[in-house]
Each structure stands twice: as C-alpha cells, then as structure tokens.
Chain A
Amino acid sequence: MHPPIRSYGNSHKSRYTVLLLLLTLAFAIPLSGFAQTLSIPAAQKLVKELDDQSNFPGKDYTALFTIVSEKPGEKQTVTQVRTFRRDTKKQFTFLVMLPEVNKGQGLLREGDNIWFYDPTSRKFTHSSIKENLQDTEAKNSDFTASSLVDDYTVNAISEGTVGKYPVWVLDLKAKTNEVSYDRVKLYVRKDKAMMLKREDYSVNGRLMRTSLFPKYVELEGKLIASQILILDEINKGEKSQITLTEQSVEKLPDKVFTKAFIEQANS
C-alpha cells in the first residue's frame, strides 16, 4: 500500500527538516569548537599583545605607585614609589616617596646593573630586579617593562572564568632557569587582550603568588592596569594592593636615568 500523497508530502518535509538540522549541526559544531580553542601560536601572540599593552617603546613612562600592604598581626603599611621608565633603552628609575623613614631611597637600572641608593649612607649598592620592593609583596620586576614573550613559552591553554568574564588560561613555562618564576598562569579575557589574573609558581610547582587586575585605564590607546592586588599564597593573609596614578607617557629628560638624579632628589 502506497502512503497517501499528503503523507508523502509530510515525510518529505520532515526529511528536509532533518537535513537542515544536520547541516546546521555540521556547521555549528566545528564553528563552536573553533571559537572555544586557541592555538599555541595564537596564545603566544596574545602574550605578546599583553606585553605590548604595558610597554611603551620609543616613549617614556611615568607613574605613581601606591602600595598598601597587609601582614597578619601587623599594621597596614603604605609605600609610595614614583617610577620613570624608558623601555627602549631598558632604563628605569624608582624613587621612594613613602614611608617617610625610607623616603629618598632609589633604584636605578644602568645597563645590566641595578643600583639601590640609600640616602642615609649616600651610597649606591648592587641590587636585583627580583627583589621585593620595600616590605611589600610586589617585586621590582612588577614595575618594569613586561617581557613575558621573551621569558616564557605557552605550555597549555584552557578555559575558565574570572568573575563574570570568560577567560583563556595560558599556562606558561620559563624558557630558562633565570626567570623569577618557573611557571606562570595568565587569565586573559577572551574578548580582548586584558589580563584579569596571574598566578606565579615555584620551581617545584607550588603556587606562590596570585595577582588580580580589577581595574584598567586607557593610556595612548593601551590598556594599563590601574589597580593590582597581590596575594601571598604561602603566608596566607599577606597581601598588597597597588594603585597606579599620575600615569603619563610624556618625554623625560635624560638625567632622570642617572645616579645624580636620585642623589639630587634627596638634596
């Protein structure tokens, strides 16, 4: 028995519907899959973009960092540092403004040498970019030009969320054993090159420090973090909140990047 025409017609229609559905799925699945993955080269490019966001080649960068540090059982401390950077020449000068007892201390990068200036002894001594800034959770390297792409390779990529934002979680491995942290995890917004969170790991793979970047400002078309919260994961409760103000890319005189400038700042 042949099926009625209507019925045939109906069957034909449902076949179209199934075909359409299959076609939709055939296109939709790979498309959705493409949208949810990031290749290693693309991730590497994203890391480069993050570096570029905070670096100012050919220009000078000035900012005032206010760091509020908290340690369990201790009073809150406020440290203020004015930073001057000339990324093209890998130069920087830091001047401590607060606390009053450390006022006048300075840090200067001259080539490969990092100098620390003590106004009490009026002497410059060798220092390291890897040292903590004053008694805070922040390291000197947190205030210098970013070089993630030079120091790390992307090892793994995954997805996650930070707050309400979907993020790429980029797992970076240090290229050499001379980088401060052997492994770093970056949580970068999917919709734009904006880092929301960073985790720093020890050589033996333990989480040492988490940095959160809740606020950004735009400077010369670049997104610059204006607030950073650094949490010590080893000594729970120890944290530093950094607020960046007076950010500028105005040209600075060459003398700013000299020992004499730091000395004169104290006279």
Chain B
Amino acid sequence: MNKVIPRIALRNLSRQKKRNILLGGAIAFSIMIVTLVNGFTGAFIENVSENFAYLMAGHVFIQGSERTASGKKISAIRDDSIIFDAIANSGIKYKTATRSSEASATLVFEGKSTSQNLTGFDLENSGFLRERLVLKQGTWDAVKAPDALIISEKVAKKLNVLPGDRVTARLQTVTGQNNIADFTIAAISVDSSIIGSAMTYVNLSYLNEAIGLKPDEYTSLNLMLDDLKDSAPFADRLYTSMKGMGLQLFDRNQKNESGSTTPFQAMLQSQNKETWEGVKYRVYTIDDVLSQAKQIVIALDTASTVVLIVLFTIIMIGIANTFRMVMYERIKEIGTMRALGVQRGEIRSLFLYEALFLALGGALAGIILALLGMNILQLINFGMDSPAFLIMKNGHLSFSLPPLRAIGNIAIIAVLTLVSAFFPARAAAKMEPAEALRTLK
C-alpha cells in the first residue's frame, strides 16, 4: 500500500488550517449533538425503569387471578409458598421480595375529592421507599400508624390536607363491592413526576382489610433484582419453573393485536377472554409495563438521526464546495504530480484521504466534546425532588452511549464526507497533466 498519499493528504490538511478547522468544527458539532442525544436516550429507558422499579418496589412482578363462579376476576395471592418454591427451584436470585396490594380510590376531604392509586406496603420496613421518597412534611415515624397514608405534595394541595388530617377513601373490594376507609395523613412527599405524584402509599394490612383481603394476603409479589437487565431472563426462568410445578399461568408473549399498547395490557386483555378454575398467575417485568417508554426512546433516536442528516446535508454542501475550491487551487500542483508519474487513482485517493481524515478528526473531536459535556452535565445535582426525577439517576442526569452507536455515527459521517469529496476528487483525477500545468487559474 502506498503510504505516501495518506501522508501528503495529512500535510495538505495542515496547509489550510483555518478552513479545515472550521469544516472539522462543523463536523465535530453535529457529532457532539447527536452523541449527547444518543447518550441521553441510552440512559433514559434504564433510568425510567429503575426509578419505576423503586416506586413499584420490584423489577419482576407476580400476580394471582381467581375466577369466581359468576366469571368475575379477583386479583389475589392467598398462599405464596408455592411461588417461593418455584423461585427456589429455578435457582435464580433476587435482592428483595415485597408483598403489596393495590386499589383505585377516591380520596375525600372536606368537600374536595381526587382519584388516587393506593399502594399498600409494609411501610415501616420498606427501605426502597425511604431511599426514593423525599418527605416534605411529616415523618417516617408517623407511618408506623396502621392507617398511615403518604400522599404527594400535589395531591395534598388539591385536597388541602396537612399531616394529621383524616381523609376518607372510597374504594372497591377485590370482588367489586363499594367500601370506605379512613386514613390519617402521615407524610407529604415531594412530587417526583406526574406518575410519581399519582402514587399514594398506605399500610398493607390496613388496605387489605378495606379491599376484603386477609392480613397475610396481597395482590402482587414484587421482586427486586440486582440488575434491571436481568428482569426478562429472570421472568422467563420463573415462568418456566412455575409452569413446571403445574401452576396455571397467563402467556408471557401476548401479541398486541387487541390494540393494547404494552405487553402487560395485552396480558390483562387476554384474561378477559380466558376461563380457568383456581388461581392463574401473571409474571411480568417492569419493561412489559413501560414499553411505551421505549417508544419515546425510539422517537428521540429517530429525531437525533434526522438532526444528524439535516446538519450533515448542510455540511456536505460545504465540504463539496471546499474540495472543489481546493481542486482549483491545486491545479498546477496536480499537473506537476501527474507529470512526475502520480496516477489518476492516486490523485483521487489523495482528495478522498483528505476528506476522510477531516471527517475522522472532526468526529473524534465531537465524541470527545460530547463525553466531556456528559461528564459535566452528570455533575449537576438536580435533586431528588426534580420534576424530571423519573428520567434521572439519583437526581443527576445520566448518559449511556453504546459503543456501536458511536462507531455507527462516525461511519455515517465518514461515508457522507467521502461522498461529498468524491466528485471534486474525480474531477481532479481526470485532469490532463499538460493542461493542468498550462492553466492560469
């Protein structure tokens, strides 16, 4: 391989420093923007899932569904020993197992009312809630009361309640009967997000009594794993293990034919069509619930690619024009090189090498700038009470750039630059040496 041509190309780049720095800067800027967006979207789904996992106290969830003689479906796990046997048999490990019950309720206080989703946990011993929920008013000691309720700031404002106030909840039992329960506001939490503010936490046994379950029964077993990425394989192995033990299970691979937007919704809809006796279990992951978040990521990624293309269309025009100008500037030089025996292909390669080095240099600078930007942005602490809490990691913006994505962006830039420079390079290569030497341009 002829190493002289790349060396000349490198030397040529340093001849017009200002022009090439501007061109390389444009390339670096576009790569930096796209890399920042890619880095953000790369961490987006992971942050949203992880934050949700904490709010919902698990990465993998198991729910039991019973069908009554009249065809009504009741959500309840009355005996979980067989589930824990299945987990033990599968050999998989989890960090924590949390029992929870849920109910939709209308909270009423002095003429004001609002709909909330009540989640019942063992509040006193729920470490994950203490880690993630920032209390604005009230104390964690107050949640020891059986009728304690932790409400978000926004909902507290809507109801005009303060810690110590008694609110009435209108809810339904698991069999669909209307019931009433009184709660005492134990604490008011800082709004973490639109979804986070919709979560209201109460004590499991108290909620169970209100929804017609026994104190040791519940509606969902939430398993927290060491790593979010293990969720799907964990759920698959648990599903197989439970199936192997003869338990009835809803198919984990429901298709979204019914127009449902998430695999979890598809699973719920399939329940309406099926008939069974006894308990049938659902095993699903946080990703099954949050698949819509992935659509946001796809949309952001698509937008960043469009931005890259638009930016680069502009830059390509600039590169094509610059190289055409370079070609005219170097006509005599090309003529001399050709007269000295440099072949047409080598002249073309010289131009293309120049373009390639320019693209690679710009792209590399762009990636470095993006990485620097990411590190600086990651240092800013937005706090756990930030409205964008759900997309952050412990109150900090976080970025995750898949290496293949970065390499792909560099490759796109390199190819587009080569395409832009190809036509001026071909024109330069086609020049007759004598004619080039004669030209006065």
Q: Does A204 contact B (CB under 8 A)?
A: yes
Whether A203 lies near B176 (C-beta < 8 A) is no
> Known: A73-B112, A179-B177, A202-B179. Contact between A130 and B72, CB under 8 A?
no
Q: Does A200 contact B (CB under 8 A)?
A: yes
Residue in B108, B178, B210, B269 whose beta carbon sits within 8 Å of that of A180 in the complex: B178
In the complex, per-residue mask of A222-238: 1 if CB is within 8 Å of any chain B CB, else 0: 00000000000011111
Residue in B170, B175, B180 whose beta carbon sits within 8 Å of that of A177 in the complex: B175
| Chain B positions within 8 Å of A177 at CB level | 173, 175, 177, 212
Whether A203 lies near B212 (C-beta < 8 A) is yes
| Chain B positions within 8 Å of A178 at CB level | 68, 70, 72, 175-177
Minimum Cβ distance to chain B for residue A155 (Å): 16
| Chain B positions within 8 Å of A128 at CB level | 176
Q: Does B111 contact A (CB under 8 A)?
A: yes
In the complex, per-residue mask of B259-290: 1 if CB is within 8 Å of any chain A CB, else 0: 10000000001001000000000000000000
In the complex, per-residue mask of B200-215: 1 if CB is within 8 Å of any chain A CB, else 0: 0000000000101000
| Chain A positions within 8 Å of B98 at CB level | none
In the complex, per-residue mask of B175-200: 1 if CB is within 8 Å of any chain A CB, else 0: 11111110000000000000000000
| Chain A positions within 8 Å of B70 at CB level | 176, 178
| Chain A positions within 8 Å of B210 at CB level | 204
| Chain B positions within 8 Å of A245 at CB level | none
Q: Does B168 contact A (CB under 8 A)?
A: yes
- Which residues on B are within 8 Å of A, measured CB to CB? 68, 70-72, 108, 111-113, 168, 170, 172-173, 175-181, 210, 212, 259, 269, 272
Minimum Cβ distance to chain A for residue B66 (Å): 12
Provide 6 A-B residue pairs closer than 8 Å at the C-beta atoms, listed in order of the A residue: A130-B176, A202-B180, A203-B173, A204-B179, A234-B108, A238-B111
Whether A235 lies near B113 (C-beta < 8 A) is yes
In the complex, per-residue mask of A193-224: 1 if CB is within 8 Å of any chain B CB, else 0: 00000001011101010000000000000000
Whether A72 lies near B111 (C-beta < 8 A) is yes
Give the CA-CA distance A126 to B259 in the complex, in Å. Answer: 12
Give the CA-CA distance A71 to B114 in the complex, in Å. Answer: 12
Whether A73 lies near B111 (C-beta < 8 A) is yes
Give the CA-CA distance A203 to B173 in the complex, in Å. Answer: 8
Give the CA-CA distance A235 to B210 in the complex, in Å. Answer: 18
- Residue of B with least CB distance to A236: B111
| Chain B positions within 8 Å of A180 at CB level | 176-178
| Chain B positions within 8 Å of A200 at CB level | 178
- Residue of A with least CB distance to B68: A178
| Chain B positions within 8 Å of A236 at CB level | 111
Give the CA-CA distance A178 to B72 in the complex, in Å. Answer: 8
Minimum Cβ distance to chain B for residue A175 (Å): 11
Whether A123 lies near B259 (C-beta < 8 A) is yes
Residue in A112, A176, A208 whose beta carbon sits within 8 Å of that of B180 in the complex: A208
Whether B72 lies near A204 (C-beta < 8 A) is no
Whether B176 lies near A234 (C-beta < 8 A) is no
| Chain B positions within 8 Å of A237 at CB level | 111
> Known: A113-B272, A234-B108, A238-B113. Contact between A174 and B170, CB under 8 A?
no
Known A177-B173, A177-B175; 9 more pairs at CB < 8 Å: A72-B112, A126-B269, A126-B272, A130-B178, A174-B177, A177-B177, A181-B177, A200-B178, A204-B180
Give the CA-CA distance A56 to B256 in the complex, in Å. Answer: 40
Interface of B (DSSP majority class): mixed
Interface centre among B113, B178, B180, B212 (most CB of A within 10 A): B178
- Residue of B with least CB distance to A129: B176
| Chain A positions within 8 Å of B168 at CB level | 234-235
Give the CA-CA distance A211 to B210 in the complex, in Å. Answer: 24
Interface positions, chain A 69-84, Cβ under 8 Å from B, are 71-73
Whether B108 lies near A235 (C-beta < 8 A) is yes
Give the CA-CA distance A176 to B108 in the complex, in Å. Answer: 28
Give the CA-CA distance A71 to B108 in the complex, in Å. Answer: 12
Give the CA-CA distance A204 to B212 in the complex, in Å. Answer: 10
Minimum Cβ distance to chain B for residue A204 (Å): 6
Q: Does A182 contact B (CB under 8 A)?
A: yes
Give the CA-CA distance A178 to B68 in the complex, in Å. Answer: 9
> Known: A72-B112, A126-B272. Contact between A208 and B178, CB under 8 A?
yes
| Chain A positions within 8 Å of B212 at CB level | 177, 203
Interface positions, chain A 152-190, Cβ under 8 Å from B, are 174, 176-182
Minimum Cβ distance to chain A for residue B254 (Å): 15
Minimum Cβ distance to chain B for residue A82 (Å): 26
- Residue of B with least CB distance to A72: B111
| Chain B positions within 8 Å of A202 at CB level | 177-180
| Chain B positions within 8 Å of A123 at CB level | 259
Interface centre among A176, A177, A200 (most CB of B within 10 A): A177
| Chain A positions within 8 Å of B72 at CB level | 178
Interface centre among B111, B173, B181, B210 (most CB of A within 10 A): B111
Minimum Cβ distance to chain A for residue B298 (Å): 21
Give the CA-CA distance A200 to B176 in the complex, in Å. Answer: 14
In the complex, per-residue mask of A133-153: 1 if CB is within 8 Å of any chain B CB, else 0: 000000000000000000000
